[in-house]
Amino acid sequence: MSQTYAPLIQAVDISVRRQNLLVLQNVSLDIHPGQIITLIGPNGAGKTTLLHALLGLLPISSGQVLRQPGLRIGYVPQHMPRDERIPLTVDRFLRLAGTHSDAERHAALQRVGVAALRQRFMAGLSGGEMQRVLMARALLRKPQLLALDEPAQGVDVSGQRALYALIRELRDELNCAVLLVSHDLHLVMAATDEVLCLNGHVCCRGRPDAVSQHPEYLRLFGHELDELAVYIHHHDHEHALDGSILESQRHD
Amino acid sequence: MIESLPFFHDFIWRALLGGLGVALIAGPLGSFVVWRRMAYFGETLAHAGLLGVGLGLFLHIAPMLSVAGIAIAMAVLLRLLEKRGDLASDTILGILAHSTLAMGLIVVSFMEAARVDLFAYLFGDILALSNVDLIYIAVADLIILGMLLWIWPKLLLVTISPDIARAEGIHVERVILIYTLLLAVTVAIAMKLVGVLLITSLLIIPAAAARRLASSPEQMAVIAIALGGLSVVGGLAGSWFWDTPTGPSIVVAALALFILTLVTPARR
């Protein structure tokens, strides 16, 4: 890991208040080039708030966020309202990312598997398609930091696996840092360098294998982990279209 | 016989040029009014326009300038109050619109002589455009179009997703403020044509009509300009041949075009 470089973003002891309620308390975090950092935590834990604070989308009440001057950020928000009022094709939307050639725009869409959507209108995209288009746009900017807020929501398990594999590949291709917000645990744990487990404050942090053994983490997610274990068991095999189990495709 | 045809009169040409000049800026700015849901903001500027007219007459400065000044003050005040975050935009706009209208009525009540002029400002008097007015409109067109072209891609991204724009380092507040100021000046200019009560219609009706015909934001702006121009021509013609009030005729012409677009299939 290239920890020797200066951090892209350095957050020192930041807190965020919303209507006198402390939603984020004393969080410090450095994001280094090439690093994949995942923010996990239950609903309302302040994951998106921390992401927004790091990107400068909302004011912090105390502490300090230092971003490298001219830092290129590719941001994929959690929600993108489908807006019927603006006639906007995917291609026109990509052209707002800067001056890129036709081929570059095609390649970016191709990279995330949605090249066919190029002439479609943004308002007609499904949630998953919108997510991919937003990713393509982020890629086009050759970001130093790719920030993804819950990219896997509404994606099925095999789709999620592919998505996290894609994120790792993109990190290697672009040599960018990746900041992920997620509340699904199992898959994201495998695809990340550092995990920050949040619940208003930082409960625990570190490499995924260490965090997954941490008592604070188990206290927050233990219940879900039990459910997940059952879940994994059921997906240990593939079904044929008629629902029968395909013996030849058993993983273990 | 020849005098009965409109194009032999200078004032008709001035009205036409002035109207087209306003349509040229109302099209793209109005498209953003539609995209950004700012119709009520246009209304507020119009209401505040009356206070501007009153102050202009009271202080003996050109009403177009005093209206522009008040409209800019409204734009800044709105952004400041919105930033506090404890009141919704429509509440703030409601307060600004009606309090400035009330203040405008009080200021005007002090001036017996102003009442006749006032009617022209409420409902517009496009046929009374002077050469000086045309110069004002031409200069405003150049500045507004130039500024708008300059901020266009940023303003578009800010409109589509302020968060993405901010993450990419765009000064969102600044871009919105510039746009709002351009809108304020446009309202001051357009007031002379259709009056404060009908200004918003020039911004939103052609743009709304263009929505169904356009397949890109730029197309929508250009089609809105064309439809606005057609409305001006249609309104002037209607007013000439049927002796109807000109400003309202332009708005009705725009409405007719909008209704026509409703029967065309939407492209999306």
Predicted pLDDT at B116: 54
Q: Tell me: do A41 and A158 sit in the same domain.
A: yes
Task: Look up the domain containing A135 and give its range.
Answer: 81-142
In a domain, A196, yes or no: yes
Most confident residue range from A2-6, A71-75, B4-8, B83-87: A71-75
CA distance B122 to B101: 12
In a domain, A252, yes or no: no
- pLDDT, tens only, B77-103: 888 888 887 888 889 999 999 999 899
Provide the phi-psi class of B114: left if phi over 0, else alpha when psi is between -120 and 50, else beta: alpha
- pLDDT, tens only, B43-62: 898 888 888 888 888 888 88
Give the pLDDT mean for B259-266. 82
Residue A52 pLDDT exceeds 50 = yes
The more confidently predicted of residues B112 and B78 is B78
User: What is the CATH classification number for the domain harbouring A168?
Assistant: 3.40.50.300
> Considering chain A, what percentage of its residues have pLDDT values greater than 70?
85
Angle, CA B183 vertex, CA B178 and CA B186 arms, to 5°: 130
Give the pLDDT mean for B257-267. 82
Using an 8 Å Cβ cutoff, are A249 and A238 in contact? Answer: yes
Pairing relation of β-strands A145-149 and A73-76? parallel
- pLDDT, tens only, B152-188: 999 999 999 999 999 999 999 899 989 988 998 898 8
Contact residues on chain A for B169, CB-CB shorter than 8 A: 70, 73
Give the pLDDT mean for B251-263. 94
What value of ipTM does the predicted structure carry? 0.84
Amino acid, res. B224: A
Contact with chain A for residue B171, Cβ under 8 A: no
pTM of the model: 0.85
A223 — pLDDT class (breaks 50, 70, 90): low
Residue B125, SS3? coil
Of the ranges A77-81, A152-156, B79-83, B145-149, which one carries the lowest mean pLDDT score? A152-156
Contact residues on chain A for B211, CB-CB shorter than 8 A: 85, 87
Counting the structural domains of chain A, the total is: 2
- Residue in chain B lying closest to A99 (CA): B153
Q: Tell me: do A150 and A58 sit in the same domain.
A: yes
Q: Tell me: do A38 and A88 sit in the same domain.
A: no
Q: Tell me: do A161 and A197 sit in the same domain.
A: yes
Give the end of a domain, one of A110, A142, A174.
Answer: A142
> Shortest Cα distance from B60 to chain A (angstroms)?
42
Tokens 């499904």 identify what position? A126
